[in-house]
C-alpha cells in the first residue's frame, strides 16, 4: 500500500524547543492478565521486552511496551511490523482471556526536544522535574483539553501519544508553548 499518511505527515515547528510529528508508528493495544506467563511470552515475542511495571515503559530489540492500566499494555513497534507482532502475541495468548487490537492508525505521536520539560509543563498537570520524571516513566494524563500519554527518552526528549483526530490541536499547543519568548527556564 502506498500513500500511507500519518495524521500530520511529519509536521515540524521550532522555537526554544522543537516539535515534530514522528510519523506512522506501529501500536497495539493488549488487554489481559499482565501477570500471566502467556502475557510475558507474548510481549517478549512482539518486542523482546519484558512486561513493564506499573507506569513504566520497557524497551526491547524490536519495540517497546508501555503500561496503560492494570489490564492493558501498549505495544510499540515499527509500523510495518504490526501484523506479525499481533500474530505472535495472539499465538502466545491463545486460550487466555485477552484482547489484541491494532491501534496504529488511531494515534499520532509527537516528539519534543530541546527544553522539553518547560514545554510539557505548560500543558500537562504533571511534575516533569528531573527528580520526579525520569526516562522509563510512562504517564497518562491530559495535555490541555485532550488525553495523552507521555514518556521521556534517554536523550531528554519527550514523546507523547494522542488520538489521531486531535493531532492538529496537540501540534498547535506544543508549538505555541515552545514559541520563542516563552522560555520559562525552570525545569530545562
Interface residues with another protein (CB under 8 A) are: 1-7, 24, 29, 31-32, 54-55, 67-72, 97-99, 101-107, 118, 121-127, 129, 132, 139-142, 144-147, 163-169, 172-173, 176-177, 179-184, 186
Q: Please, what is the minimum distance in Å from the beta carbon of residue 131 to another protein?
A: 8
Q: Which is nearer to another protein, 62 or 141 (CB)?
A: 141
Q: Please, what is the minimum distance in Å from the beta carbon of residue 181 to another protein?
A: 2
Q: Please, what is the minimum distance in Å from the beta carbon of residue 127 to another protein?
A: 4
Q: Which is nearer to another protein, 61 or 164 (CB)?
A: 164
Whether the CB-CB separation of 159 and 153 falls below 8 Å is answered with yes
Q: Which is nearer to another protein, 48 or 179 (CB)?
A: 179
* Per-residue 3-state assignment (H helix, E strand, C coil) for the chain: CCCCCCCCCCCEEECCEEEEECCCCEEEEEECCCCCHHHHHHHHHHHCCCCCCCCEEEECCCCEEEEEECCEEEEEECCCCHHHHHHHHHHHCCCCCCEEEECHHHEEEEEEEECHHHHHCCCCCCCCCCCCCCCCEEEEEEECCEEEEEEECCCCCEEEEEEHHHHHHHHHHHHHHCCCCCCCCCCC
Q: Which is nearer to another protein, 46 or 121 (CB)?
A: 121
Q: Please, what is the minimum distance in Å from the beta carbon of residue 147 to another protein?
A: 5
Q: Please, what is the minimum distance in Å from the beta carbon of residue 129 to another protein?
A: 7
In this structure, the number of other CB atoms found within 10 A of the CB of residue 168 comes to 14
Q: Which is nearer to another protein, 156 or 163 (CB)?
A: 163
Amino acid at each position: 500500500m502506498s500513500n500511507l499518511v500519518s495524521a500530520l505527515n511529519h509536521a515540524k515547528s521550532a522555537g526554544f524547543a522543537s516539535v515534530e510529528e514522528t510519523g506512522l508508528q506501529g501500536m497495539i493495544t493488549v488487554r489481559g492478565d499482565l501477570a500471566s506467563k502467556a502475557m510475558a511470552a507474548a510481549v517478549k515475542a512482539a518486542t523482546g521486552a519484558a512486561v513493564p511495571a506499573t507506569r513504566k515503559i520497557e524497551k526491547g530489540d524490536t519495540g517497546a511496551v508501555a503500561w496503560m492500566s492494570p489490564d492493558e499494555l501498549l505495544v510499540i513497534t515499527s509500523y510495518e511490523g504490526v501484523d506479525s507482532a499481533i500474530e505472535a502475541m495472539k499465538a502466545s495468548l491463545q486460550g487466555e482471556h485477552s484482547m489484541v487490537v491494532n491501534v496504529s492508525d488511531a494515534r499520532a505521536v509527537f516528539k519534543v526536544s530541546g527544553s522539553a520539560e518547560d514545554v510539557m509543563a505548560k500543558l500537562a498537570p504533571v511534575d516533569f522535574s528531573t527528580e520526579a520524571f525520569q526516562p522509563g516513566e510512562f504517564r497518562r494524563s491530559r495535555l490541555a483539553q485532550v488525553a495523552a500519554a507521555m514518556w521521556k527518552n534517554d536523550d531528554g526528549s519527550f514523546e507523547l501519544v494522542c488520538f489521531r483526530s486531535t493531532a492538529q490541536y496537540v501540534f498547535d499547543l506544543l508549538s505555541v508553548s515552545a514559541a520563542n519568548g516563552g522560555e520559562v527556564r525552570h525545569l530545562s
